[in-house]
Structure 1
Amino acid sequence: MKLFLIVLFFMLSQHSAVVVYDDNDEGIVDVDDNEYAVPMSCDQYCSNRREKRFEEPVRSRIVETMLRTPMYAMNDSAPDIFSILKDQYTLPKGFTGPLKEYDFIVVGAGSAGSVLASRLSKGKMASVLLLEAGQGENVFTEVPILAPLFQRTDYVWPYEMEYQPGVCMGMEGGRCFWPRGRAVGGSSVINYMIYTRGMPADWDRIAADGNYGWSYRDVLPYYMKSERAKLRGLAESPWHGRDGELNVEDIPFRSKLSKSFLDAAKMLGHRRVDYNSPDAFGFSFIQATMSNGRRVSSAKAFLHNIKKRKSIHILPNSRVTKILIEPSTKTARGVEFYRNGRKYQILANKEVILSAGPIESPHLLMLSGIGPREHLTSLGIPVIHDLKVGETLYDHISFSALTFTINKTRLTLVERKISTVENVVQYTQFGDGPMSSIAGVETIGYIKTNVSDEIGDYPDIELLGTCASLASDDGKVVARGSRIADWLYNDVFRPIENIESFTVLLMLLHPESKGYMRLRSTNPFEQPMLYGNYLTHPKDVATVIAAIRYIIKMVDTPPFRQHGARVYEKKFPNCKKFEFGSDSYWECAIRTVTATLHHQIATCKMGPASDPTAVVDPELRVHGVNNLRVVDSSVIPRTIAAHTNAPAIMIGEKGADMIKRTWGLN
């Protein structure tokens, strides 16, 4: 009976993306045993994979409370509870394995790859193989408040930035942690679901660099095509789509601090806006990729309904290690991948498309002989084409340790207080309450600091209002997911675990500091070397300090003062020699907690042939190589005022249309 209730609940919980199988769209692929790919025995990499894994179980009070309810009751002593009730992807009826050939091979079922594969396989015009290194979602990944929990699970690639003196000093080992989604759905399975498109000027500048077809006017229809918006006060807005597959809604839970954030912004002269409209410079509640309080990943939006479509084969737990390229003609022919201890080589009749994300897409290009000649030659990799793959890398950084305490209770999300059966039942039945909060993040705003030299309303900082801090869960989830070192947490944050506190996050939108990446070795299972070069440009430091001062000014207004809000002045142990509040202190602090917001871009930079740093052209074709494209956030050539999930989905939509036009599939 208990198992029946679990399965029933899991099925009901999917009402945010009701499964309606596309039985009438059976595709063009015939079942023929002679057409199946023949697996090969593993080579040396099977026993020398060098892949990092998380050995310690990840738990939280919220999960433990959920496991005590009938809806989620299961064996809570299992070493990996996240393996239970996992979304399954099997081949369509009649197929027993992957075929030898497909029209298109899409590498990566993430934010871009999911929508791309869905669009290409529709209409019986082409066959698609979608390969994903990760696994399917589970019943816990859809719960918004648990988002930070998954940063220390096998749902991520546990990338680490190479050691850089003077940043991430308060993180474990002094290293910056760069987790990226490793799942069917990619980072949209583990992110904070914040839906942002970027400013019109961002995309217009990209187009002005020679990237035809990428102006704001060009990309807006692709944002709207995917979107199924259900936003308060915007039912008649001309800037939102309502017929797409991707639910975009208001977060059901709102604390009183969210109103204080918007009221304080108004007192400082900021407007309330729809930040996903062309008039985006202002403040608002967050718009999120969720439905009825539950996460809507790219997989849930674009893949769940087409599992039986015979023209698409989705293979999770399949690690692509090489693009097969004919050297004499520089033509991509297929891919090599590992699955269940066997190696496969499968061909693409039309194109190979990389949608593996801003780290794995360039990683695969370089392993396959496309990249900086000198670097590839030094590793003994035959060079197919000399391109600046991985030479450009931008990232959005944040400072998550600016903390404010309040003298009232029940205003913030304190984990030990909200971990109740009543809240779990509330969420299960109605999709609201604290469990529907995206880990406390509620509001958003764009500002231009006094450091900016831009003309007009072009922001250099994004602010995110929250109703929680690093101390709100006693350091068990968010701090650990960010790899905050024990010496820092215990000294600074543990003393306020019994005091309600919150933070206002900042995001440096347009860093001047530019990073890069390199192969570590020719072993495809070994993670590449990532160099963020955070805060190497003095303007970035000055902009972040200016943002901190602006946040403190904002909280020192009546809407926050009514709750007794005041900045927490406990000094970081390594910054004690500086006066609290001085520029020197804040620079030390941001170099101690230098947190990524997981928005790496430009590693496969888009640009015209005249751009010597470009990897793909404006139609996302790899320069100098036939039948090979990159369709994901790695192609974004400039920093944009956006979290990259929505842009990646838009790129998937636009990329699908360009590919269909190329092959006459419209």
Structure 2
Amino acid sequence: MILAPEHCGCSYQSPGASVSASPVCNGLLLFMAMVESYIVGRCDIAQPCSRIVGGRVEDEYDFIVVGGGTAGAIVAGRLAENSTLKVLLIEAGGPDPVSSRVPSFYRNFWNNPETDWMYRTVPENYCLAENGRGCMWPRGKTLGGCSVLNGMMYHRGHEADFQDWTNFGAEGWSWEENKPYFDKSEDNKQTGTLVSQLHHATGGPMPVQQFSYTPEVVYDFLQGVKQAGLPVINDMVDPDTPDGLTIAQTFTKHGQRYTTARAYLMSEKERSNLDVLLNAHVSKVLIKKHIARGVEYIKNGRKKTVKATKEVILSAGALNSPHILMLSGIGPRKTLEKFDIPVVADLPVGQNLRNHYGMTLYFTLEKQHNTQVLDWSAATEYLLKRDGPMTSTGITQLTGLLYSSLAERARKQPDLQFFFNGFSAECSQSGEVNEPVGVNYRNGRNISINAVSLLPKSVGYLTLQSAHPLDPPLFYPGYFQQPDDLIMIRDAGRYVKRIVEAQNLKNKYGIQLDKAYSAACNSSEEWSDAWLECMARTYTDAQNHQSGTAAISRVIDDRLRVYDVSGIRVIDASSMPTQITGNPQAAIMMVAERGADMILADWSS
């Protein structure tokens, strides 16, 4: 029977969170339940013989890595390659969902409390369509972290980004010094065909290539980009083609998502010196006489401790690592004293919160019906061949970088990025071909385009809500505080206008602004400065690329060690002092590779 699990040579482990909890598509529907049942029973997807579901915990380790996400999985995996070291990786969430390995399902694990921290910003004059709830910031709460939730795009940033780092004070973190660590993680499957080996590497743990499936509409949009007089490129990483739109390379292989946890971590049977503790919330670092001695964590409602003889490495992400630091007594004195937390080190933890942001513009393709992409045909193609629409993210694989009117083009550092959303095989009630979406499906297919500033001048901060470790921090992103941000976002919006007005898109798709969304700003003329500002504040696109909250030269030194306290490093996006102009996962991986290398070098000497 096709739904019966395959025999893999060992028993199946927990499949992790199910799409049944997804706000996008209810997995309790018979069709989705059947598809998911098949997925979690395939040896090549579930990999039960090497799946990590957490197990033993000893009293003491050489190194404790807090956070099993994009950075933490790399740090723990690299440290454990030294068989003489005992390493513990602690993750607040559970095992990565097997179904999340299907690329088209990525949105199904957003806003799901099993896999997402469910964070929102403090409400202000942005994300107004959220009706006073602030902006949603999906953050991975599962083994693999945000590399389970994101769109998988590969981009290293630009040389000028790392000039900005060194200008900020991150000595030794220039482009040339970082490049070997970008190379170390990458296994590009398209060097010599699509991209140049001068700018990419092979042999690393993370597979990088374009999705095996690209819908026709992506090529039509690229034709529209050309008609709009904008560049189309093969590779965003190539410094000779820094600006232009393209089909992104992604972290994918054999029709599946690859996370850092999947690529870097081995099960306890394969690597006995690495233990993984799941569903354990680290509440603070245990510090005695300004030396980190271990961590306290909460599991099943009970507080426990575990010792570290060498170091504690915080890799809990740009929002959670600073939270743990402050709960441990490392942070702004005024904040700590407000909550009666003894001050260990007075440092600007939580400041310098940076993020990409812009606006989401909604469109209707009036010459198409709004129907589901996922059906029995697409499911069968994936289940039998690992091919077809389920191997990709629809039109989300289309992206690009362009210059705003404020950009310094000589630096080859584009400051705008564009994301496209739609045509994803993520949901179906019945599996029926051309299943309608909503009662008005004949009115046209819905898509959206995000127009984003990559170098906003507004900088925010996060702070404690209370001294209770399970109370989330308060996030103040500072969106729109600096007028230049609106100039960049308006420029980005007008690039979108040029693209959607391309004749080929008008003729074939009848693309129009979705009046259901643009009505919120009807008091202004469409595409005017006032209308674009209204749309930006109403449909703020808060990208999930937060960084800088424990920055090199402010909170940590250039070897990622926390100032004034021994035995703690921060190795994740918190460490990155300024933004990368592009998708940040590759840069976070680079930081993790460098950080692990530094730790091993420091202790070997």
Note the C-alpha offset of 1:631.
0.2
Aligned to 2:16: none
Supply the distance in 2 between the matched residues of 1:575 and 1:70 (Cα, whole angstroms): 41
Supply the distance in 2 between the matched residues of 1:11 and 1:197 (Cα, whole angstroms): 38
Supply the distance in 1 between the matched residues of 2:305 and 2:495 (Cα, whole angstroms): 55
Aligned to 1:650: 590
SS of the equivalent of 1:458 reads coil
Match status 1:399 vs 2:359: yes
Aligned to 2:432: none
Aligned to 1:524: 469
Match status 1:586 vs 2:545: no
- CA shift in 2, pair 1:210/1:451, >3 Å: closer
Note the C-alpha offset of 1:324.
0.6
In the alignment, which of 53, 72, 79 is matched to residue 89 of structure 1? 53
Note the C-alpha offset of 1:169.
0.8
Supply the distance in 1 between the matched residues of 2:167 and 2:259 (Cα, whole angstroms): 32
Aligned to 1:661: 601
Note the C-alpha offset of 1:428.
1.8
In the alignment, which of 637, 642, 651 is matched to residue 577 of structure 2? 637
In the alignment, which of 317, 337, 345 is matched to residue 377 of structure 1? 337
Supply the distance in 2 between the matched residues of 1:214 and 1:647 (Cα, whole angstroms): 11
Offset from partner CA, 1:91-115 (integer Å, 9 cap, x none): 4xxxxx4222111010001100001
Supply the distance in 1 between the matched residues of 2:426 and 2:539 (Cα, whole angstroms): 17
In the alignment, which of 271, 288, 299 is matched to residue 309 of structure 1? 271
Aligned to 1:22: none
- CA shift in 2, pair 1:2/1:230, >3 Å: closer
Letter paired with 1:283: L
SS of the equivalent of 1:68 reads helix
Match status 1:510 vs 2:460: no
Note the C-alpha offset of 1:207.
2.2
Note the C-alpha offset of 1:235.
6.7
The residue correspondences of 1:234-633 to structure 2 (distance < 5 A) are: 234=194, 237-267=197-227, 268-279=229-240, 280-304=242-266, 308-326=270-288, 328=289, 330-408=290-368, 416-452=371-407, 455-468=410-423, 498-568=443-513, 570=515, 572-607=518-553, 614-633=554-573
Supply the distance in 1 between the matched residues of 2:23 and 2:522 (Cα, whole angstroms): 33
Offset from partner CA, 1:70-105 (integer Å, 9 cap, x none): 952999xxxxxx9x99954244xxxxx422211101
Note the C-alpha offset of 1:191.
1.2
Aligned to 2:433: none
Structure 2 gaps, min length 5: 14-18, 430-436
- CA shift in 2, pair 1:444/1:74, >3 Å: closer
User: Contact conserved, 2:285 with 2:325, CA < 8 A, in 1?
Assistant: yes
- CA shift in 2, pair 1:541/1:402, >3 Å: farther
Q: Which moved more, 1:551-560 or 1:520-529?
A: 551-560
Offset from partner CA, 1:355-374 (integer Å, 9 cap, x none): 00011100000000000011
Letter paired with 2:221: F
Offset from partner CA, 1:528-561 (integer Å, 9 cap, x none): 1111111121111121111111111122224423
SS of the equivalent of 1:181 reads coil
Note the C-alpha offset of 1:600.
0.7
Supply the distance in 1 between the matched residues of 2:206 and 2:268 (Cα, whole angstroms): 15
Structure 1 gaps, min length 5: 15-53, 76-81, 92-96, 476-489, 608-613
Size of the alignment, in residue pairs? Answer: 582
User: Contact conserved, 2:52 with 2:266, CA < 8 A, in 1?
Assistant: no
Supply the distance in 2 between the matched residues of 1:334 and 1:660 (Cα, whole angstroms): 19
- CA shift in 2, pair 1:104/1:138, >3 Å: same
Note the C-alpha offset of 1:449.
1.9
Offset from partner CA, 1:121-159 (integer Å, 9 cap, x none): 113131111100000022211111111111121101011
Aligned to 1:68: 34
The residue correspondences of 1:18-33 to structure 2 (distance < 5 A) are: none
Letter paired with 2:126: V
SS of the equivalent of 2:479 reads coil
Letter paired with 2:546: Q
Supply the distance in 2 between the matched residues of 1:438 and 1:10 (Cα, whole angstroms): 32
SS of the equivalent of 2:98 reads coil
Supply the distance in 1 between the matched residues of 2:68 and 2:279 (Cα, whole angstroms): 11
- CA shift in 2, pair 1:63/1:645, >3 Å: farther
- CA shift in 2, pair 1:70/1:219, >3 Å: closer
Aligned to 1:229: 188
Supply the distance in 2 between the matched residues of 1:379 and 1:89 (Cα, whole angstroms): 36
Percent same amino acid at aligned positions? 32
TM-score normalised by the chain length of structure 1: 0.81
Cα RMSD over matched residues? 3.2
In the alignment, which of 119, 129, 133 is matched to residue 170 of structure 1? 129
Note the C-alpha offset of 1:453.
5.1
Match status 1:160 vs 2:160: no
User: Contact conserved, 1:115 with 1:649, CA < 8 A, in 2?
Assistant: yes
